[in-house]
Structure 1
């Protein structure tokens, strides 16, 4: 039986690639985006298989209404993909409270609201999958991407707990951690830049420049990422976390090694803080 997908941020990048992969697999997709005109070609090419849904994931009332509409139309949601997002570059001191709150709304509170909205329907059927699109920046952070990584770290923490809570209910959770892929993430107008301070030119300046220069040259292929996502979902025992791309694999592996080495060097002190027996 074909699955019913709800994919946010579906108008471009990973979202569009996931819609195309799901359709190729014979599934039905509700493709959600703030601006749906970019989906007109897919809706026309796959009548009855792709439907566009206008949705701002930071609007809690709209989230509830959208989920209810999908369930009423199709009877269920088998796969939720929380993909809507954007990049932001800036040092912690450069990032305003409003900028931080906006990225948290988009990357944490929006996905959390969608997850809460679909769970009652998935629980009733004791099946379903929730896919959280985070980033290799959901595992580690570096200068200039504090707000972005903070939001992705938060979503990963929520999702790891969620996976343990819903596994007995027959629901899967998959955290996808892409590296640099050829999406519009770093394109003109897509990447938000906090107002720069001269003090951070040495540490954050190169990040601002390299992200812009990488646009259209990233090594990752979104179509292959979408295919890998479907492969993982269809596995008998899907992973909790799925890094994607050689850069993500290398960076995450190196970070895990460094974390283990740091822990080992401080383990004696770490273990010295309990009450004496």
Structure 2
């Protein structure tokens, strides 16, 4: 799919690294405008100097619920129409559930679940008023498949998947399309630079949860996904009508999700008689 003939304006959270930075660079290069949120604007000083008014920046911490609404309202007020809202910012939290501290659990849920929900809710009145738009929510293969050692990360991603899935049915009547982006491993800084590792409890060395810990500590596994190609497919998806509800990116993502979805469906089918036996 080619670029739309008319330039778009995109609101993207977390544009200082990873998919957010790659998307920002691709969009600016093709002539679109980007409203990006970062923790510190200095990280994008060079990009801002090159693109000027085409790159609008605001500082934002996704755990600041009131701040999210303020930034979103200001972006729409200063830029006018925003065509695509990309909820990208987030991070991984790895380790067994018992290993993870209470504060880390709360911060993970605030950043990966509550913050994105607030971002989307803040954007909805503006999108309705302008007659439509798109929402891209960055999820992960871990939004449909589950792996030991990532239970708290999955909690946030499975939660945001349920939210966006239901939301898509609520807002389609307003011309608002929603897409959950489900990438597999990508060669960004997410795995080895943007993730947190819970303190070790020795008993879990015997658990499959330790596999995730060893992978991150060793830092030698190279993810297969090409970030530039993945971001290009995300951008292309905005031209699809209707919006794809889910966008699987990466052979590892497709394989893992296909395997676990098939297992879940087989388990459900095996319970059909039991399920119907409880009807009146």
TM-score (norm 2): 0.93
**Aligned position for 1:85:** 90
- Aligned match of 1:16 in 10, 15, 21? 21
CA distance in 1, matches of 2:59, 2:130: 26
- Equivalent in 55, 65, 69 of residue 64 of structure 1: 69
Question: In structure 2, the residue corresponding to 1:251 is in which secondary structure?
Answer: helix
Deviation, structure 1 residue 56 = 0.8
Q: CA shift at 1:30, angstroms?
A: 1.1
CA distance in 2, matches of 1:266, 1:68: 48
Contact 1:64–1:117 (8 Å) recurs in 2:
yes
Question: How far apart, in 2, do the equivalents of 1:271 and 1:211 lie?
Answer: 45
Q: Which residue number corresponds to residue 176 of structure 1?
A: 181
Secondary structure of the residue aligned to 1:46 is helix
**Contact kept? 1:179, 1:245, Cα under 8 Å:** yes
Aligned counterpart in structure 2 of residue 198 of structure 1, from 197, 202, 225? 202
Q: 2:99 aligns to what SS in structure 1?
A: coil
* Runs of 4+ displaced beyond 6 Å: none
In structure 2, the partner of 1:272 is: 277
Distance 1:240 1:93, change over 3 A: same
Contact 2:93 2:150 in 1 (8 A): yes
User: After superposition, what is the alpha-carbon deviation per residue over 1:170-222, rounded to whole angstroms, capped at 9, x for unaligned?
Assistant: 0011100111001111224x321112112211222221111344568211111
Question: Does the residue aligned with 1:175 lie in a helix, a strand or coil?
Answer: strand
The answer to whether residue 227 in structure 2 is matched with residue 219 in structure 1 is: no
**Which position in structure 2 is the counterpart of 1:249?**
254
Q: How many positions carry a matched residue from both structures?
A: 274
Unpaired runs of 5+ in structure 2?
Answer: 1-5
| Corresponding position: 1:131 with 2:131 | no
Greater shift in the superposed pair: 194-203 or 127-136: 194-203
8 Å CA contact 1:186–1:215 kept in 2: the answer is no
Alignment RMSD (CA, Å): 1.5
